[in-house]
Structure 1
Amino acid sequence: MSKGDEADPKGLIAEAYRIDGISAGECRTIFLDWALSVPGNADVPALIERLLARHGVPGHPMTEVLADGRAAGAQPRRRGGARGRRS
């Protein structure tokens, strides 16, 4: 998969699977960066499903992080700025 793919705009998830010895904490950090890079109107659970179907190696820390994100219904929302202070 190349950078610019709708499911992985920066290629972060694909790269995480290539890193030998990556920790769960590092995968969570990468997942957060990934979540912030997807468009705000994206169907994040569907993107996570696509990533798991493409990369989901059993036992890999990123697979576990993606599965946790799917289970939690991960949907990043910006809450900063004036709008965040008014809610």
Structure 2
Amino acid sequence: MSTVEMIVKNEPLDDIVTVFALLQATPHLDMTIRRHNRDLINEYGALEASYSRLFAAGILLEGEKGLAIKGPNWKPPKFMTEKRYI
């Protein structure tokens, strides 16, 4: 199992978006999540709601080419600080 697959299967949606929105545009992130854990975004608009929460909280800001950038309140999710998937 790949590291990305393990993260998507085991972590909350907001934590996944906090990290992967910096690396993947929304359509690609949506495809990644659907491939590895459909249940996370089974509810209509779940991914968009997650982005909205993170933008409103200042965790993410709009970047270029569909990517987000770290906002003033960005902190690495717990799975990163604990180095769970290394």
TM-score (norm 1): 0.42
> TM-score by structure 2 length?
0.42
* Larger strand share, 1 or 2: 2
Higher relative contact order (CA 8 A, sep 6+): 2
